[in-house]
Amino acid sequence: MSRRQSLHVFALALIVAAPWLCGCEGYDRKHDYKVVDVTPPDPTEMDTPAGGARASTGHIPDIVEEMMARRAAYLQQLVELERAFLAGGDAVRANWARRQRNLTDKVEVYPYLTQETPEQTAVRVEPKDAIPAADAAYNDALKIRKEVGLIPLAGALPHVKDKARQALEMFKRVIHEYPTSDKVDDCAFYIAEIYKEYLREDDPDDELAIRYYRWALALDPNTPHPVRFQLAVVLDFRRHDRSNSLPLYHQVIELQEDGNVSNQKFAATRIEQLSDEDFSHIRAQEPRARTVAAEARRDTAAPREELPVPPSESSEPPSNSGGGQ
């Protein structure tokens, strides 16, 4: 194969791979599949709840509080087990207990009783201070996040999910350890991004992603990140919530959010699609229907000027009352 042919093959491969190399956003958005599992619990488990009687929705706060107390007690028992094994000289089993505690501690605890993010209920944040240690931790997390984003189809690869989860934990750690850092709002945005793109099994209904996007926007309405655009996309394509996504698309254009022209063009297109149900220029139509729609718009915009009607050829000539044969 000649050098020129090789270059042609390489260029063709780049064209084919461009959508994946550039990321999924803004290329070909479609309504995403549902990953939520709505399978009910095993009937035998439902028949014998912990309290003895069947639980009702009115007892949900009590159930959640009891669950959290038992979780804390379980973690404490693992600490005691680790100490006991160490005291007995069994380092292997002590490491097992430590590992089990670390894994349990990392399991997502969902905010069952609030409309906020888990961090909002755990710590009070006020992003105002430039803290070098927080900046360093944030940059470390952001570096991992960028490495994950460079890999095509990254969300489908298990080892990439692990790296994304590592970055997620690092961003959350910045929020917990440095609640007054000016990087808190940035962390909230990237946490939402990670849930949205890589950890959908942890957030099958996108509820956590939505909450973190909204929190990031509340913390910094002038955010440098495309928060409104990403939130609009999630609400639009995954939640099918057009009433709440449409105002966000408008804001993307009005504020020229993030300076991203591609996002603004997509928002404008989506506004037309959502606002003009019958005759969007994007929607496939019959040629005659498109012509009728175009004529209707033209007539509404500018009335036609009436032209004089020419005399009919078949009309009788005016009679000459003063003449005769």
Indicate which CATH number applies to the domain containing 126: 1.25.40.10
Give the end of a domain, one of 106, 137, 168.
Answer: 106
Please tell me whether residues 270 and 130 are part of one structural domain. Answer: yes
d(CA 105, CA 98): 10
Backbone region of residue 312 per phi and psi (left: phi > 0; alpha: psi in -120 to 50; beta: other values): beta
Q: How many domains, in total, are found in the chain?
A: 2
pLDDT at 300: 60
Instruction: Band the pLDDT of 45: cuts 50, 70, 90.
Output: low
Averaged pLDDT, 277-287: 51
Please tell me whether residues 149 and 196 are part of one structural domain. Answer: yes
* 188 compared with 303, residue with greater pLDDT: 188
Rounded to two decimals, the pTM is 0.67
Please tell me whether residues 237 and 158 are part of one structural domain. Answer: yes
Please tell me whether residues 146 and 101 are part of one structural domain. Answer: no
Please tell me whether residues 80 and 217 are part of one structural domain. Answer: no
Residue 166 lies in a domain: yes
Which domain does 158 fall in, by range? 122-275
Percent with pLDDT over 70 in the chain? 66
Please tell me whether residues 136 and 91 are part of one structural domain. Answer: no
d(CA 302, CA 304): 6
Residue 83 lies in a domain: yes
* Secondary structure class of 31 (helix, strand, coil): coil
Please tell me whether residues 167 and 101 are part of one structural domain. Answer: no
Please tell me whether residues 197 and 99 are part of one structural domain. Answer: no
Q: Does 307 score more than 70 pLDDT? A: no
Instruction: Band the pLDDT of 321: cuts 50, 70, 90.
Output: very low
d(CA 92, CA 98): 10
Give pLDDT tens digits for 214-249: 999 999 999 999 999 999 999 999 999 999 999 999
Averaged pLDDT, 321-325: 46
Instruction: Band the pLDDT of 74: cuts 50, 70, 90.
Output: very high
pLDDT at 112: 82
pLDDT at 63: 87
pLDDT at 114: 77
Structure tokens at 126: 């006020």
Angle formed at CA 206 by CA 119 and CA 186, multiple of 5 degrees: 45
pLDDT at 309: 57
Query: How confident is the prediction for the chain on average, in pLDDT?
Result: 78
pLDDT at 28: 44
Q: Are 271 and 248 in contact (CB under 8 A)?
A: no
Residue 157 lies in a domain: yes
Residue 17 lies in a domain: no
Please tell me whether residues 97 and 129 are part of one structural domain. Answer: no
Residue 291 lies in a domain: no
Non-local CB neighbours of 147 within 8 Å, separated by 6+ positions: 163
Residue 66 lies in a domain: yes
Please tell me whether residues 160 and 88 are part of one structural domain. Answer: no
Please tell me whether residues 180 and 77 are part of one structural domain. Answer: no
Please tell me whether residues 161 and 254 are part of one structural domain. Answer: yes
The type of residue at 298 is R
Residue 18 lies in a domain: no
pLDDT at 282: 47
